[in-house]
Structure 1
C-alpha cells in the first residue's frame, strides 16, 4: 500500500510517499481501507517535534510512529479475532491518536474500540473532519464550559477547525453565540448560525463592554486579563488552542486565577473516546452540525496540505481524499 512516511523530525519536506507492507489485523483490530483523512495542528507539532515535550512522548531522536495522521474515515476491509462490533463493508470513522496514528495511508489497522459507524448522511471527507476538532469543541463547551441554554457564548477563532464546530455545537445547546473571526470569514460564521460576528480587524471584543457567560479561545493570543475583562463574574474561560503563550497562561495561571474568585479560567486537554464521537455523529445526522471543509488534497499532497495548515489561516478543516 501507499503511505506518507516520516523517518525523522523536521518540516513537511521530510515526508515521503512510499510503498509499505499492508498491515494485518491482530486480536480486537479491524483493517480499514482509508477513504479520507483530516489534518490537525497536532500533526505538524508531531512532525516538527515542537514543543520539545513531543520528543519525550513520541521518540527522543526519531519518531516512534512513522505514519502520522489521527483523523480518518473509511470502510472495514477485514477483521481480526474477537472483533464483535464491525464486519467487512462497514463504514467507520475515528481518532487514531491513542492507538498509533496511521491515517495518512491507504490502509490502517486499528482497535475496534476507537471507531464509530460513519454518519449515513455525510461523506467520508466530512466524517474524517470531525473526530479531533469536533470532539474538542464538544468537550470544551459541554464538559469544561458547562454550557447552558440561553447563555451568551463567545468563540474566539470561530473560523478554524475547532471554532467552526464550536459555533454550531453552542447553537445546538441553545446558546446565543458571538463568533470572532477575520473579515474574510464573517459570512462563513453567519452561515453556521452565529447570532453576532465580530471582525477582529475592526473591533476588539474585550473593549466593547459586553460580558459573556462562556468564552472559548480556539486560536490566536490574548492575555488572560483580556478574557477576564470580557467575562461575567461567574463566567468561564476555556482554552483549546492558539499561540504557545496563550496555552501556557491558561495552563499555569488559569487555575491560580480561578482560586482567587471571579471567572473560572483553564484549558481543555482532549480525551478521545467513542462515546463523544457518537454524540458528534448524532449532531451530524440531525443536521445540527455540518463540517466546514476549505481544501482537499490527495495522499501524495500531504506535505503541501501540512504547509498550508501551518500558515494558520485555514477556514474550517483541510482533508485528504485518497486516490484509487
Structure 2
C-alpha cells in the first residue's frame, strides 16, 4: 500500500511516498481503509521538531523518536470505512463508515493515517461518520471539532443544550483556522454572542459561521477596546499569540475565563466524537475546507499549512 514516510525532521520535502506492507488487524483491532485525512498544525509541528530549542527536541524525542519519528507514517485524522475486523471486535463490523483520531493524548500518539490503510484498536477515539457528510467533510470536522470541544470542556463553558450559553459573550482569537472555525460554530450553537478575531479578509467568512462581529488583529488590540467578554478562547496557541493575547485579563469579565489550545495536554475520548457526530447531524457544526490535495501532493499540502494562514482545514484525499 502507499504511505507517506517522514524520513527526518525538517521541511516538507522530508515527506516521501513509499510502498509498505498492508497491515493485518489483531484480534482486538479494525482495519480502516482511509478515504480522507487532514494536515493539521500538530502534524506540521511534529515534522518540524528540528526547529525547536534543543531541550525541547530532547523531550519530544523521548516520546516521538530522535532524528526522525519512531513511527514514520504521520497523520492523525481518520475518515474511512472498516474493511476488516479482528475476531474479538464487537463494536464495529465490516463496511462501517467511521471517523476520528489516532491520538489519545499528547503522550499516546499513534499516527499513521497518511496511508491507504490503518489498523486501530476497537476502542480508539473513533465514531460513526455523520450521515449528512461525505468523507472529506467528515475529515474536516475531526481535528477542529475535537480540539474545540476539549477547550470548551476544559474551561467549563456551558454546552449541554442550545440555550445553555445564552447571554454570554465569547471572543475567539484565531477564528478562521481549524479550531477557531469550530469554536465559532459551537459556542454560537450553544447560545453565546460570538466575536471573532481574524484578518479583515476573513471577516465575512467568520461572520457566516456565526460570529456577530469581528476584530482585525492587525489593526485593533481587543484588550484595549474597553470591552469585556465572559470567555476568551485562543485558538492559535499562546506561543504564537502571546504578542496579541498577553493582556487578555483586562478584556475579561469579573470571573471570566481564558483558555489557549496549547494550555495543557488535550485528552480525547469516544464520547467527544459521538458528540461531534450528533452536532454535525444537527448542522451545529459544518465542514470548513480550505484546500484539498491528493496523497501524492503531501509536500505541497504541508508547505501550504506551514504558511500559517489556512482557512479552516486542509484535506488529503487518499482513496477518493
**TM-score w.r.t. structure 2 length?**
0.89
The residue matched to 2:285 in structure 1 has which SS? coil
CA distances 1:220-248 after superposition (whole Å, capped 9, x unpaired): 4235641011111210000014xxxxxxx
Contact 2:34 2:319 in 1 (8 A): no
| Superposed displacement of residue 61, structure 1 | 3.4
Unaligned runs of 5+ in 2: 159-164
Counterparts of 1:237 and 1:122 in 2: how far apart (Å)? 32
**1:108, distance to aligned residue in structure 2 (A):** 0.7
- 1:323 is displaced (CA, Å) by 4.5
C-alpha separation between the residues in 1 aligned to 2:301 and 2:93? 32
Further displaced range: 281-290 or 6-15 = 6-15
- Is contact 1:145–1:238 with CA below 8 Å preserved after alignment? no
Q: How many aligned residue pairs are there? A: 299
Mapped contact 1:293–1:315 kept (Cα < 8 A)? yes
The SS at the match of 1:129 is: helix
Q: 2:232 aligns with which of 208, 215, 229?
A: 215
1:95 pairs, out of 85, 101, 104, with 101
Please give the residue correspondences for 1:23-42 in structure 2 after superposition, counting only pairs within 5 Å: 23-42=23-42
Q: Counterpart in 1 of 2:275?
A: 279
1:159/1:181 contact within 8 Å kept: yes
Corresponding residue number in structure 1 for 2:192: 175
Is residue 2:141 matched to residue 1:127? no
Structure 1 equivalent of residue 161 of structure 2 = none
Q: Distance in 1 between matches of 2:312 and 2:113?
A: 19
Stretch of structure 1 that moved more, 9-18 or 28-37: 9-18
Structure 1 Cα separation of the partners of residues 246 and 8 of structure 2: 40
Q: Answer yes or no: is the 8 Å Cα contact 1:6–1:63 preserved in 2.
A: yes
Q: Displacement of 1:14 after TM fit?
A: 1.1
Taking the aligned partners of 1:186 and 1:100, their CA distance within structure 2 comes to 36
Alpha carbons of 1:225 and 1:63: their partners in 2 closer, same or farther (altered >3 Å)? closer
SS of 2:241's equivalent in the other structure is: coil
Alpha carbons of structure 1 residues 268 and 196: separation in structure 2 relative to 1, 3 Å? farther
Aligned pair partner of 1:153 in 170, 188, 196? 170
CA contact (8 A) 1:4 1:17 kept: yes
For residues 82-131 of structure 1, the C-alpha deviation after alignment (integer angstroms, 9 at most, x for no partner) is 10011111100010124521110011111121221000101111111222
Unaligned runs of 5+ in 1: 242-266
1:133 and 1:162 in contact (8 A); partners too: yes
d(CA) in 2 for partners of 1:149, 1:20: 52
**Secondary structure at the residue paired with 1:113?**
coil
Q: What's 1:260 paired with?
A: none
Moved over 4 A (4+): none
**How do residues 98-117 of structure 1 correspond to structure 2 at under 5 angstroms?**
98=104, 100-114=110-124, 115-117=126-128
SS in 2 for 1:130: helix
Q: CA deviation at 1:268?
A: 4.2
C-alpha offsets along residues 255-287 of structure 1, whole Å, 9 cap, x if unaligned? Answer: xxxxxxxxxxxx242112110111111110000
Say if 2:129 is the partner of 1:118: yes
Q: Is the 8 A contact 2:77 2:100 kept in 1?
A: yes
Once the two structures are overlaid, the 10-residue window that deviates more, 174-183 or 97-106, is 97-106
Indicate conservation of the 8 Å contact 1:140/1:268, yes or no. Answer: no
Is 1:193–2:214 an aligned residue pair? no
SS at match of 1:189: helix
Distance, in Å, in 2 between the alignment partners of 1:35 and 1:71 is 11
